[in-house]
Chains A and B, each alone.
Chain A
Amino acid sequence: MKLKKLSAPVLLLLPAFVVLTAVIVLPLVFSFYSSFTPFRLTKPESLWIFVGLRNYVAVLSNWDFWIAFGRTVVLLTIALNTEMLLGLGLALLVNKATQGQRLLRTVMMFPMMFSPVLVGFQFKFMFNDNIGFVNNALQSLGVTDRAIPWLIDGNLALVSIIIAEVWSSTAVFAILILAGLLAMPKDPVEAAHVDGCTPWQTFRYVTWPYLMPFAFIAMTIRSLDVARAYDIVKIMTDGGPAKRTELLWTLIGRTAYADARMGMANAMAYVAILLSIVFTVYFFRKLAAARQQIGAEW
């Protein structure tokens, strides 16, 4: 009886709303609420104690949290810039290939096809100080005669993680920048040659402005990716040694499951999301500016 009164559009949209509410809105509201409680998985009744902003105050005054936050930003900056340079180089090289370009493009994407967990395991093995491939190779080549403690030294461990990240995701930049190169009109480049540009100047003043929007799209995607980095780190170092590779999400995961402090972890997560939002907004601004620059019609 009552259903009949609902108009057709409402009726048709209703299932979507119900599903979205059930799988997204409710968990979101619930997790947000729990960040205001001292909820522990081991003490379900603690969910009903409301403590206001106490968790947030604790998070913001927690030195470990800020170190993990800072380390995540550092990792993100180094990884993204490295990936961008390598991806750009790769895309330019592949774009030059006159034969077998399809094959190269496919091969280029291989690293993206592996689960990050497997990448983590593989690099953990490769960087193993005793039996790892990296030390073995370095020693055979005579670069060093001792075993470099890749995953045992704090700084080297972070470097190792960055290498694994870069290996697995440079393709994102390469693919997007290559798409830009393929879509780019040839005439302005030729005009630049005639106007007296060296190959480097042509790249700097003509090609690069075209590619910038594509690079920023890749940056946005990857910044979201790296800001929530968890799997590779979890497998390779689990935040160690002595928390020297602890990132935001490994810290949050540990707080939530190892320490079972769900309320606190949720508060951390909401602060961490701010980081992602800031990066996304930043890159979208850059993207919009770059698009406007080249008068892009997309």
Chain B
Amino acid sequence: MAPVTLRKLVKRYGALDVVHGIDLEVKDREFIALVGPSGCGKSTTLRMIAGLEDVSGGAIEIGGRKVNDLPPRARNISMVFQSYALYPHMTVAENMGFSLKIAGRSADEIKTRVEDAATILDLGHLLERRPSQLSGGQRQRVAMGRAIVRQPDVFLFDEPLSNLDAKLRTQVRTEIKKLHARMQATMIYVTHDQVEAMTLSDRIVIMRDGHIEQVGTPEEVFQRPATKFVAGFIGSPPMNMDEAIVDQGQLVFATGIRLPIPPRFVGAVRAGQKVTFGLRPDDIYPSGHGLHAGDAAAVHEINLPVTITEPLGNETLVFIQFNGRDWVSRMLNPRPLRSGESVPMSFDLSRVHLFDIETGKALGA
């Protein structure tokens, strides 16, 4: 049993605060992804959990035990580093068995466990090689093998796939998912790739500037982003956003475009309030080419000029001019569109997000 709990966790480098007192409860056997832009403190947080960085304030508990002052070796964790961090002077088998050797396990047991891990990761034929004789993807799998051989309570991953090419990344991602199902261990996974975060995790933690913006399941953070930042960070292409003013039950944009306020926001906004309006590309489409069956009453149609199109095969991203900006929409069963052509666009207003312009917090229920 190894839940991981962070309480008011702070990291300070001199006068510079990089993690500002974050709280997080990771349940036993949960797969949690930490995402956020570069420099937001993901690695720092992970390294504090691993014991590789001192904690400046607050507490870390693993399995209900406060570990702030325990060295990494006393925490029963495994970590997969972004750079793999293999031991260059050891063979693949020695790399994977090293932690067991240190723990004083018998040669037989080490051999069995290394071979088991090698089978899972398809490394059997590479066991006698040195890391310098392996490809990036193979090194990555060795790093993973080294982590699983230990059978730790908690796995920590720091962007383990960032050095792999797109195809290998998808492949190893699947491996990690299988691994989680098999190992039944708590996993904390740092990435700045939201696809990895969405596909792998039970819950996602979105960080920004050393704060947690939102914690939730992939569906929650996608469908109910708590802040404007989360809304812009999760989803690809990102959510279309622009400022609007509330006026007589309508949202008025700078160029005078007016859209009705969806019913669920009616009590949540007041006249004259400035808000950020957000709508995902999936929820804007050339009429008749939508993703959702949709609630016909909520669909609002506007004629807008097409700027460019990006055909992706089964769908096309259509860039349209809305309120002086390029907005992205997603067109299913695409038909050819010309640049400059004016197209009736359907806005599914039941899926609108509104955010307070000052705080960036989501409005409405």
Contacts and interface: CB of A to CB of B under 8 A. Distances in A.
Interface of A: 185, 187-188, 190-198, 201, 205-206, 209-210, 293-295
A198 B83 CA distance: 22
A16 to B, nearest CB: 39
Contacts of A195: 73, 98-99, 102, 146, 150
Interface in B47-99: 50-52, 71-73, 77-79, 81, 83-89, 98-99
A190 B46 CA distance: 13
Contacts of B81: 187, 190-191
Contact of B78 (A185, A190, A192, A194): A194
B31 to A, nearest CB: 19
Given A294-B88, A295-B88, A197 B73 contact: yes
Nearest to B85: A187
Contact of B71 (A193, A293, A295): A193
Contacts of A210: 89
Given A190-B79, A194-B50, 14 more contacts: A187-B83, A188-B85, A190-B85, A191-B79, A191-B81, A191-B146, A193-B52, A193-B71, A194-B51, A194-B78, A195-B99, A196-B103, A197-B102, A294-B88
A210 B85 CA distance: 14
A194 B52 contact: yes
Interface residues of B, number: 26
Enumerate the 7 nearest inter-chain pairs by beta-carbon distance, A residue then B residue, closest first. Answer: A187-B85, A295-B132, A195-B99, A191-B85, A193-B72, A295-B88, A196-B73
Contacts of B50: 194
* Interface SS of A by simple majority: helix
A184 B260 CA distance: 62
Given A187-B81, A191-B79, A295-B131, A196 B89 contact: no
Contacts of B99: 195-196
A196 B99 CA distance: 6
Contact of B86 (A188, A193, A205, A293): A188
Given A187-B81, A187-B85, A295-B89, A194 B72 contact: yes
B180 interface: no
Interface string B92-125: 0000001100110000000000000000000000
A206 B102 contact: no
A191 B87 contact: yes
Contacts of A205: 87, 98, 102
B155 to A, nearest CB: 11
Contacts, number: 65
B20 interface: no
Contacts of A295: 88-89, 130-132
Given A193-B73, A196-B73, A201-B102, A293 B150 contact: no
**Which one of B50, B52, B85, B131 has the highest number of Cβ atoms from chain A below 10 Å of its Cβ?**
B85
Contact of A190 (B52, B89, B98): B52
A188 B102 contact: no
B192 to A, nearest CB: 19
A295 B131 CA distance: 8
Contacts of B103: 196
B117 to A, nearest CB: 14
A60 B62 CA distance: 72
Contacts of A193: 51-52, 71-73
A224 to B, nearest CB: 27
A66 to B, nearest CB: 40
Contact of B89 (A187, A198, A201, A294): A294
Contact of A206 (B83, B84, B87, B131): B87
A15 B51 CA distance: 64
A188 B88 contact: yes
A262 B81 CA distance: 65
Nearest to B71: A193
B216 to A, nearest CB: 29
A294 B146 CA distance: 18
A294 to B, nearest CB: 5
A201 B146 CA distance: 17
A151 to B, nearest CB: 45
Contacts of B130: 295
Interface in B119-171: 130-132, 146, 150
A214 to B, nearest CB: 14
B37 to A, nearest CB: 23
Contacts of B98: 192, 195, 205
Contacts of A293: 89
A194 B77 contact: yes
25 contacts: A185-B83, A187-B81, A188-B85, A188-B88, A190-B79, A191-B85, A193-B51, A193-B73, A194-B50, A194-B51, A194-B52, A194-B72, A195-B73, A195-B102, A195-B146, A195-B150, A196-B103, A197-B73, A205-B102, A206-B87, A293-B89, A294-B88, A294-B89, A295-B89, A295-B132
A210 B132 CA distance: 14
A87 to B, nearest CB: 21
A181 to B, nearest CB: 16
A142 B131 CA distance: 58
Contacts of B150: 195-196
Given A191-B79, A193-B72, A198-B73, A209 B89 contact: yes
Contacts of B78: 194
Nearest to A186: B85
B49 to A, nearest CB: 11
A169 to B, nearest CB: 28
**Which one of B73, B81, B89, B102 has the highest number of Cβ atoms from chain A below 10 Å of its Cβ?**
B89
A209 B84 CA distance: 18
Contacts of A187: 81, 83-85
Contacts of B87: 188, 191-192, 205-206
Contacts of A191: 79, 81, 85-87, 146
Interface in B196-211: none
A85 B52 CA distance: 28
Nearest to B150: A195
Contacts of A185: 83, 85
